[in-house]
Structure 1
Amino acid sequence: MVNYTDIQVIDARDIFIKWNKSQLDGLSEYTSDEIHKYIKLIPLFLHLNHKMLPGYISDQLPGYVQSGVYGYQADKATVNDARLLNSKFRYQHEEIVKNAAVESVFFQRRLVDGSFLCWIFNKPDLSSEMLDALKTKIEKISQWLYSRGAAIKFICLSGDDFISDKKNKALNNDKALFLDNFYSESIVLAGKYPVWWLVSPSKEGEYSACVEHIKQARFVDNDEFIDLASPAEVTRKDFLYFSVNQVQTVKLSAEICLVNLLVIDNKSRAWPDLDGVSFRLKEYLYQNKQSINLPGILTELLRETFSQYAGNKHLYTEDRLFSWIKANPGKLNPEIAECFLAAKDYREVRLEGVDNILASLSYFKAIADEIRQLFGSIVDTCWQRKEEGEEDSNLLLVARNMQELLSDSANRVPLYNSKDITDILFDRILLRYQHSSWSLLAGTSRGDETILDDFTSLLGLLAWCWLNRVVNHSTQISIDCPSHQVRQIEARYVLEILMQYLDPKIVSSIPPKVFEKPAQPLKSLLFMSLLNESDVQRMAKDSLVFSQSLFGTSTGPVMHCEQLIINSWGDVYTKEYTGNAGMLQCLCEWTHHAPLDASAEYVSRKTDKDVLVQPQSLKAFSYGTGDSTHIAQRMEQIYSEIINFFYKCKISAGRFVLRMENTCYVVTADNGLLAASEIGRQKALIEYLQAAVDVYQDTALERLAFTEQPLCEMYQRNKKNVLQVFFQIKSRRYHVWVLDEKGTLWTDIVNVYDRDSYVIHWLYLFRNIRVILKKKSAENSDLPSLEICQISINPLGEFEFHTKGAEALSGEKQFYELQVKIEVSDNDDQLSLVFEDQVFLYSEFRQNVLMECIQYMSASMSGGGHRPVFVTDIDIPLSLYHVAMPEMLQISHILKFKRNFEHRINKLLQG
């Protein structure tokens, strides 16, 4: 700021009045003569309640406003203009009203966008009835002006409400610049003027004390001014808050955002010293500086800010940037760019066709880069210079989140343009894969090629084209990809999918509050393809994204997935996954924004409105026809079953088994986050399900995980602490599957001798199993129950389950019972057997117990007495079950011993 000499209060008032009059007369430069006249008539419309003038309200209206505008008296020119509206209007000069309902009428032409506002300050103690009547009158005036082509926003409030950020929404959202803009842009049409204009620039830091001194000294009549506070009453928090709001609305007008951030950055750097358009305007007026204009003062601020970034990397110089803004101002007031370039002879060459598209995209990128740098500077300045107790952690978090959104990232899809502009649509694009990246090539009028941005994936490039609005349904696509072998029709199909499922507005209409929380995935699209081994190895070599462990060493085609993600901040980025494990990693990571433990806690509130927090849906597509289409459908089906099992069924501690090609995997939750791990082929899956577990786990099998056996349907019926026996008769053999009390699988195949023997033997066996568990386990409560189901296949090929009830007990026992007892000694295991009522003790037969028993069995079965032999009672040490502690014993351990012993007996009998 330059030096100045303080002047007297009365002189300051005269300077302001002179400036105010020149500004009022100068309004004709920005409006038509007719609109200019209407603006000057607004105080008269408010002052009078005349039937021949706009704003008339009935005399019978309760609370009718009679006292007009403070100190207003229409001059002859104003009266003549009013008579032009209605020749019957007659104006009778009256005394100046001192106790008026309206204290001041301000007209503001906003410099940044050229919009018009009219501020009407009512008397603070106005009754509610009178205030309602005044607002009704203002509404009628507003409608009349709008019908005449004058789009003016009217705001009615008291001076106290004006300086309250709770009552004045404009001040609440824009405290850093609001008063600075208001004082520099507003014109007093009638009534009291702001006392701020009487405060010397050197006293801005002591504004309240200075105003009080003016009131006490009575340099001017205290009733002729109104106190609307000082623009000096701002903090760094206000600068940061305003900058955050600007970035949140950047997609509405990047040009306005750029200008405002340039001003805020200047003010933030100068703070606690004061700077701004209004401060400089007052100073220049006090110094009697000639040729003062607001765009010129703003230009000073903008160029000073640009000078602070001279050493930074810029895509455009400031003159080139504003020359583009001048040609494409958007919502920004064109005067700003014109004034910025007034002293420069800088002109952009008029471009057409592809050249214009390329230049426009380059401009969009340049302005986005400037906004990123400015916002980062403001955030860093506010953070580095913050004082103790000044920090707002929530606001700073929002700012940091926005910085992250604006930062560069290899996998991010940069968004520069949010406007539908016909002139920047490509008729044809060429997509080239070279040096491990995708790029868009466009031919210029000079005959050469221009490369637009490099992307790690084709999906990211196509999303960039669509979301930046440079392609549509008519755009033709060509592919140059010798290594990837992506066909033109496949790229076109992906683009059509993006156009159908991805509305660009999803990234341009982001509510401000979302930045108060970490970014959450909002929408996702998956695109599947099959890669040859050579492509996989090359991608693994060229990119850090891929890991050999994700896709193994398969020599056949390998699945590859490109995922497009849009999060709650409006950020768009891509991810790539390869191989079976990569596909499952993609599905699991998509659920991580809704952890199972957080969902369970949310549900535990048990309110009517509470629902289970579930991950977003997932849409999968293929790059072409054939196997990749089937893979895409299967991925959707697997994801749906995973969500149903873990989230809809609320099973956070379960395990979900699935198969990808010939390999089986299991999905489990680790600290509430789903993760997949490899099991192996089907044999390994059976071993996995047969392994002992510490506690019961709900288990689900994806419907195609094991189609040869009804394991999927069985686990759907699995129950805790129930021994479930499932059997199916095929080719005179029992195919048996058992789920024990902890869900561990046990299988067996037994010859069929008669219809009921096998089922009945389970009743005898289970009775003894309960005795074994009661004896071995320290916890005798909650002994398991038994459930027996026969499986059949209906004419539609579906499995049906038929529970066997108590009627099975009525059947006659048509099998031989065998009881096994083993005692462990220092030398060897001592086996004793009981076959029916015949006892074979170790003490009597020693090592020949088993053979003696076999001989007795053979003799008993001779002469047509052949029956199946089932072990129904077992008494052996824990060590033979291969468990270390009694609590670890499961029924499946007992059944394994039973199966092995029975198979040995049957083999000896047959031999």
Structure 2
Amino acid sequence: MTAVSDVPAQLAFCESINDQRLTRALSQMRKGQRRFVRLLPTLLSINHARVPGYVSADACGGIQGFIPDKASLDSLNLRFDAVIKPAHQLARHVISSLALMGSAGSVAHGPNSDLDLWIVHRPGLNDNDRTSLKRRLAGIGLWAELSGLKLQCFLVDPEDFARQTSEPGMPKPLLLDEFYRTAIVLAGGMPAGWLIEPDQDARHATLTRALNRQLPGAKALVDFGELATPTPAQLADFAMGQLSRAINQPWKALLKLNLADYYSRHPHALLSRQTRLDLYNGMPPPDSYQALYEAISTDQPTPPWLGLMQRAFYFKTSAMLSAASPLLPPWQAMEMRALVKRWGWDGRRLRGADNTQGRDVRSLLGDYRALVDELTARFQSILLYCRGQAVMTTGHLRADVVARQLFARFEPKPGKVERINTGLAVAVHQPNLTISRAQFGWAALVDGDAVARFESLTQLVVWLHINQIIGDNTHLVIDGPDAVTEQVERLEYELLRLLHDPEPTPEAFQLPAFSDRQLYLLQAQDLRTPLGLPALAHLEVVSQNSWGEVFVTRFDGKAGFYEAFLEGLTNLLSARVGDGFDAIIRVRDQDHRIQPALDGYLRLLEDCADFFARPDYRAGTYVFRVAGAFYALAFDENEPSIVALPSMAALMHHLQQPRRLFGRVQLDPSTGITGDLLQACAMAAPGRVTYLIRFAQARATIWCIDEMGSIYRFTRPWHARASLAGQLTRFTQRSQWRQRASLVMPEPGDWDADVECIELLGQYPQVQFQPIEVTTGDAVDRLAVQAVGHWRADRTLAFEWRVGPQAFSALSHGPNLIGDVARAIRNARPSGTGYHAYISDLELPRRHEGDRNRPMQASQYLMHKHTLEAALAEALELCR
């Protein structure tokens, strides 16, 4: 345990080490950045309207033991034209310590490294003061950006540190571990953990109080509590966080990812333990990042893996040792040279590594493959660790979400164009690049060697574009006619407008991927028809989805065109489910020109998406027409499909088919249908059977739109409007009552449908709707004719009949059954006339047409009724 008399000397030693780190850190920064860091404590200790961070007259701030010096105040006065007086200095000091954390001051810090700023405030700061402090830091952060610093600010309550909400992927023990080994205190108290022997952590609070009794209040130590050993769940969360970061910022994250692996095997060997032990014993601790590298490389890994870690360390610094770098201070250059010498790097190896700022695509491909292998292996090891420790990752770092991130960036998929620059280099370009035809497609050549091969020119250009291989200084040679050169230039222009650069957010991977950016490149010789289908050779679709993946998919012929259409529709519908939908869809011909003849394609695609995007319309049918044929588009198990219907009769047969779910029918303007079918489609409603009737002199045309949206059209004689409406209404109600009664467990939708009859008057577009009232006098059929169906042994349907009280069947009447039924109907009529007979009631077997689970629809009963009534009508003619 620390002796009381040693406390001032021990604190002085920690302060001297801290000052050395700060000096090293400042030497790694540019002039404006150094000025910002030096003035930061002063900015938080004064409150003046002209300086960054001002929010109000009673702003929160002030740092324990810190008094701004005259040089800092003069610098702020000069820079911001301010006159700072003693009254502007905050008397209340709410900040206990102000510290930088991260790679600053270490050998691994580079010009593009960010800085994490810890603002440790007094315990129990109220919400108003915390809000005021956050607003001040936001204003100061804006000035940091102008100085070229990536500053992240974290408010920390030391007493409540263990209970504060942790950052995703950075659990509290590992965050405190990193703080103890990397922190640089700019002002305020030192962390008590630097003065306490690690083995005494269980007595951390007691020892901190004892130490503080021997120190003046201005130098009071900050107590974060005991540094706990990370749990398996916390280590898994940390590893998942680094794995997720490694996808776009690989070099730093690779080192920390392997540190997570090291900690999983040595959970009690946190690197901060050695740092604290050295400080306690009065010895300078090792460089934080060198200590990290030494720890992860101790288990004698394979040379390829070790080479990747060495490159990760080197690229993290942006050292550029093969030439004098003005951004690298002498001490850092010297230590890095000693390190790479120990690795066995020669001048050639250094020069190759330093080309990472404008990197040759061939060397980049090697690191890309190594990165893919490493991240894949690490992800699998994390999963095995989680299974072995029986832990689960949570939040947006769940294993399935991180897996989606990895698959989106690295997994090969059909048509996917590979991104090889995943943060591996500042830029990728080639001074000389040739695009040339190859034996089976196209190739990109560097110095005569093919670095990439693709089936189509489109794929190649997209690959060059998304990897930013063609730069302003690239001498591009296109081996082909001028038309190919123009095609490349036009495609590049389209890609600049189509594909977006921002990386997908972690939240994007919570949902399945969808594409809202699509470019259709149609290769056709004849575009006279609205969609150019008859002469369509092939088309290519360039698309980017919400996971950042870019695809180039080829579709051939007419069938391929419809595949592309269905894929585009699916992507549009998926996109419209999410927030902020902003689809970009373009259609171009083979020369990337806008074709007015192709406008119909876009309109049709968007109209279909509008129709199916409504929740209750996904079970519907969209009908359009191309080159004289009808096409019905519908979804089955959430997958779209198109059915070709060569004629109007085929279309009507399709619309009358039974459905498992209610679905509406939408007729596209391309169908040219403007008659009664258009009105019938508009009348569909769940749980309602509607009869639209157009009366003529001898026969009525009847449209049945049933409770599931099926549409059936038929004609029949009539003699009174109300009588026909009454027959249809009673027949439908009886059928549904019987079906309802036979259900063991009714499902939603097995309701008694409302039935209405409406007369159509006038012609489109001035059609009028006249409800037909079913009067009380029509409530009973004058002659009850019932047919009861059953299956024969050969699976054909047979019927038994009842005409009033008389029963008829094949057993008793043989082949003359229908004739005997017709005569019975004729004889039962008082007038004896032979007017048309109708069936008042029909019972069908539940398992008819193979549907064992759902009752038949009203339209199905009508089809059987219409067929039987036609047979009766023929028999009545014969018995006159």
Specify the TM-score bucket, using the shorter chain as the normaliser.
0.5 to 0.7
| 1:696-751 CA distance string (max 9 Å, x none) | 7533333334769874564334564222235899xxx9996744656443367x9x
Of 401, 412, 434, 1:398 maps to 401
Of 492, 505, 508, 1:511 maps to 505
Give how far 1:451 is off. 2.2
Of 405, 410, 424, 2:413 maps to 410
Of 518, 521, 535, 2:514 maps to 521
Q: Name the SS for the 1:873 alignment partner.
A: coil
Q: Name the SS for the 2:814 alignment partner.
A: coil
Distance 1:463 1:16, change over 3 A: same
Of 663, 675, 678, 2:643 maps to 678
Distance 1:625 1:728 in 2: 56
The TM-score with structure 2 as length reference comes to 0.66
- The equivalent of 2:620 in structure 1 is 654
Give how far 1:500 is off. 1.7
Distance 1:562 1:409 in 2: 19
Q: Name the SS for the 1:273 alignment partner.
A: coil
Distance 1:321 1:440, change over 3 A: farther
Distance 1:249 1:46, change over 3 A: closer
| 1:383-426 CA distance string (max 9 Å, x none) | 33346564335433333333333432133333344789787378
Amino acid aligned to 1:465: L
Give how far 1:441 is off. 0.8
Distance 2:47 2:658 in 1: 94
Give how far 1:331 is off. 12
| 1:414-440 CA distance string (max 9 Å, x none) | 3344789787378876264654xx654
Matched, 1:197 2:200: no
Q: Name the SS for the 1:520 alignment partner.
A: coil
- The equivalent of 1:874 in structure 2 is 838
Amino acid aligned to 2:689: N
Matched, 1:318 2:340: no
Distance 1:887 1:372 in 2: 56
CA contact (8 A) 1:322 1:340 kept: no
Distance 1:423 1:474, change over 3 A: same
Distance 1:890 1:393, change over 3 A: same
Distance 1:493 1:832, change over 3 A: farther
Distance 1:632 1:465, change over 3 A: farther
Distance 1:134 1:398, change over 3 A: closer
Gaps of 5+ in 2: 79-91, 526-532, 740-751, 776-784, 787-800, 850-854
| 1:641-685 CA distance string (max 9 Å, x none) | 4334333382344333445556654434444x1432535422533
Q: Name the SS for the 2:758 alignment partner.
A: strand
What pairs with 1:697-846 in structure 2 (closer than 5 Å)?
698-705=664-671, 711-712=677-678, 714-717=680-683, 720-725=688-693, 738-739=703-704, 741=706, 743-746=710-713, 765-766=724-725, 768-769=727-728, 779=738, 784-789=755-760, 792=763, 801-803=767-769, 825-829=813-817, 831=819
- The equivalent of 2:182 in structure 1 is 185
Distance 1:147 1:392, change over 3 A: closer
- The equivalent of 1:812 in structure 2 is none
CA contact (8 A) 2:196 2:280 kept: no
Distance 1:356 1:254, change over 3 A: closer
Distance 1:449 1:73, change over 3 A: closer
- The equivalent of 1:568 in structure 2 is 546
Of 858, 861, 867, 1:890 maps to 861
Amino acid aligned to 2:412: S
Distance 1:402 1:273 in 2: 31
CA contact (8 A) 2:442 2:456 kept: no
Distance 1:64 1:637 in 2: 58
Of 261, 265, 271, 2:266 maps to 271
Amino acid aligned to 2:712: L
Amino acid aligned to 1:470: I
Distance 1:833 1:166 in 2: 86
Give how far 1:272 is off. 1.1
Amino acid aligned to 2:393: D
Matched residue count:
773
Distance 1:45 1:621, change over 3 A: closer
Q: Name the SS for the 2:670 alignment partner.
A: coil
- The equivalent of 1:225 in structure 2 is 221
Q: In percent, how many aligned pairs have the same letter?
A: 13
Distance 2:705 2:93 in 1: 90
Instruction: Say what the alpha-carbon RMSD is for the aligned residues.
Output: 6.6
Amino acid aligned to 1:724: L
Distance 1:722 1:16, change over 3 A: closer
| 1:800-836 CA distance string (max 9 Å, x none) | 53557889x9xxxxxxxxx99997622414548999x
Give how far 1:521 is off. 0.9
Matched, 1:300 2:298: no
Bigger radius of gyration: 1
CA contact (8 A) 1:428 1:475 kept: yes
Distance 2:296 2:373 in 1: 14
Q: Name the SS for the 2:194 alignment partner.
A: helix
Give how far 1:639 is off. 3.2
| 1:436-486 CA distance string (max 9 Å, x none) | xx6541343xxx13322x45665544433332233589999988899xx99
Distance 1:121 1:879 in 2: 81
Distance 2:53 2:658 in 1: 89
- The equivalent of 2:85 in structure 1 is none
The TM-score with structure 1 as length reference comes to 0.64
- The equivalent of 2:780 in structure 1 is none
Give how far 1:125 is off. 7.1
Distance 1:340 1:902, change over 3 A: farther
Amino acid aligned to 1:700: Q
- The equivalent of 1:463 in structure 2 is 462
Distance 2:236 2:216 in 1: 36
| 1:214-247 CA distance string (max 9 Å, x none) | 7669997697533234666434444444454455
CA contact (8 A) 2:667 2:678 kept: yes
Distance 1:694 1:38 in 2: 69
- The equivalent of 1:430 in structure 2 is 435
Distance 1:13 1:584 in 2: 76
Matched, 1:619 2:597: no
Distance 1:298 1:722, change over 3 A: closer
Distance 1:56 1:139, change over 3 A: closer
Distance 1:360 1:784, change over 3 A: same
Q: Name the SS for the 2:669 alignment partner.
A: coil
Of 157, 161, 164, 1:163 maps to 161
CA contact (8 A) 1:526 1:620 kept: yes
CA contact (8 A) 1:529 1:561 kept: yes
| 1:590-618 CA distance string (max 9 Å, x none) | 6668999x99xxxxxxxxxxx99999857
Give how far 1:788 is off. 3.6
Give how far 1:525 is off. 1.0
Give how far 1:764 is off. 5.8
Give how far 1:292 is off. 5.1
Distance 1:133 1:876 in 2: 81
Distance 1:574 1:900, change over 3 A: farther
Distance 2:75 2:819 in 1: 124
Amino acid aligned to 2:418: P
